[in-house]
């Protein structure tokens, strides 16, 4: 049917962003769990896993095959808050800055950083719940938190540790999100533009796949050190009134001193193979939902893509 609107309403952009991210999470949650376990390996003074594959085998052997989906509710809730906000804001800003001509790489990076910062602040409570739920199984039974769902986790953290704990690690979370979004969103758009300019690949799912894998690699390299700081701070316990880490710099210092410099990229393989496919699936879902909306709601085939 025809419609006088020329663009997708902001509320729909936000919803599409969240749904795309949630769709991606259904596929990559096991990799997220392995990545988090790898990043926490070594905090007890011993290296728990030799590799990502060893971590996966150990988790399945000791906790059961379905343990790889521990924290799925938190992962979905994180996408519903964080990704809904960041992709909605980025899509809105991208369209605003694309009225006369396509924005350059620097502009895309700034737009991505702004969208990521806001989204990560909104999604921090679910991020804390996700880190704790995916790491619970590595603890001795008596030390496990035993959250039953993201709602139970958020409610118990609020009740037992106070509302500010839901925003624990917000600084490194925002910093990571700015790095991720500057790299992911900007390099995705730039890679897609470059791929299309060759004339060998047409705009479609294969193009989105190639651009997403390039974007995922750049994002993984740039953001992992900040991500490991975020993971350890959000999972840390307060012992005798003293936190395990005083901040991101203290995490970097302790990791480098105790585990080696390259441990800042610990869990690189599951991180990339989580981020790469998640980026692919998220952007494919997002592009297809945008295309269908333009076609069936706005009644036009032409639209501006990311």
Between CA 19 and CA 289 the distance in angstroms is: 9
Between CA 68 and CA 118 the distance in angstroms is: 29
Between CA 190 and CA 177 the distance in angstroms is: 19
Q: How many CB atoms lie within 10 A of CB 196?
A: 14
Q: How many CB atoms lie within 10 A of CB 76?
A: 20
Tokens 């509320």, residue located: 11
Q: Which pTM value belongs to this model?
A: 0.74
Between CA 90 and CA 93 the distance in angstroms is: 5
Are 153 and 161 spatial neighbours (Cβ–Cβ below 8 Å)?
A: no
Q: How many CB atoms lie within 10 A of CB 96?
A: 11
Rg (CA), the chain: 20
Q: What is the pLDDT of residue 5?
A: 47
234 three-state secondary structure: helix
Q: How many CB atoms lie within 10 A of CB 54?
A: 14
Q: How many CB atoms lie within 10 A of CB 216?
A: 24
Residue 301 Cα to chain centre, angstroms: 31
Closest CA to 41 of 263, 249, 261: 263
Closest CA to 55 of 44, 71, 70, 68: 68
Contacts of 241 (CB under 8 A, 6+ apart): none
Residue spans of the chain under pLDDT 70: 1-6, 44-46, 185, 301-306
Between CA 190 and CA 148 the distance in angstroms is: 41
At 50-73, the pLDDT tens digits run 888 898 999 999 999 999 999 999
236 three-state secondary structure: coil
Instruction: Tokens for 10, please give them.
Output: 């902001």
At 156-191, the pLDDT tens digits run 999 999 999 999 989 888 988 888 877 776 788 788
Q: What is the pLDDT of residue 160?
A: 94
Are 233 and 132 spatial neighbours (Cβ–Cβ below 8 Å)?
A: no
Between CA 108 and CA 106 the distance in angstroms is: 5
Closest CA to 208 of 191, 231, 221: 191
Instruction: Report the half-sphere exposure of 228 (CA within 13 A, side-chain side).
Output: 30
Look up residue 239 and give its DSSP letter. E
Q: What share of the chain is helix, strand, coil (3-state, %, to 5)?
A: 75, 0, 25
Are 70 and 133 spatial neighbours (Cβ–Cβ below 8 Å)?
A: yes
Q: What is the pLDDT of residue 124?
A: 94
């Amino acid at each position: 049917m025809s419609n006088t609107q020329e663009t997708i309403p902001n509320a729909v952009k936000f919803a599409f962003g969240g749904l795309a991210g949630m769709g991606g999470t259904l596929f990559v949650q096991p990799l997220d769990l392995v990545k988090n376990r790898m990043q926490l390996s070594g905090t007890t003074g011993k290296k728990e896993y030799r590799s990502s594959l060893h971590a996966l085998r150990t988790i399945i052997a000791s906790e059961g095959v379905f343990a790889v989906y521990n924290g799925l509710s938190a992962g979905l809730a994180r996408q519903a808050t964080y990704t809904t906000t960041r992709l909605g804001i980025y899509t809105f800003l991208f369209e605003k800055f694309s009225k006369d001509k396509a924005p350059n790489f620097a502009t895309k990076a700034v737009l991505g950083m702004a969208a990521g910062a806001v989204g990560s602040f909104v999604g921090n409570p679910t991020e804390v719940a996700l880190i704790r739920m995916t790491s619970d199984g590595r603890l001795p039974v008596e030390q496990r938190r035993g959250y039953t769902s993201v709602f139970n986790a958020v409610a118990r953290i609020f009740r037992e540790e106070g509302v500010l704990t839901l925003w624990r690690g917000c600084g490194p979370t925002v910093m990571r999100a700015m790095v991720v979004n500057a790299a992911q969103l900007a390099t995705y758009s730039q890679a897609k533009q470059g791929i299309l300019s060759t004339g060998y690949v047409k705009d479609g799912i294969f193009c989105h796949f190639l651009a997403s894998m390039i974007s995922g690699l750049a994002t993984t390299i740039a953001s992992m050190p900040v991500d490991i700081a975020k993971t350890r701070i959000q999972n840390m316990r307060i012992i005798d009134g003293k936190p395990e880490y005083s901040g991101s710099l203290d995490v970097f210092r302790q990791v480098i001193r105790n585990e080696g410099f390259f441990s800042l990229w610990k869990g690189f393989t599951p991180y990339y193979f989580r981020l790469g496919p998640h980026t692919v699936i998220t952007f494919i879902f997002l592009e297809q939902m945008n295309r269908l909306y333009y076609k069936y709601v706005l009644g036009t085939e032409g639209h501006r893509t990311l």
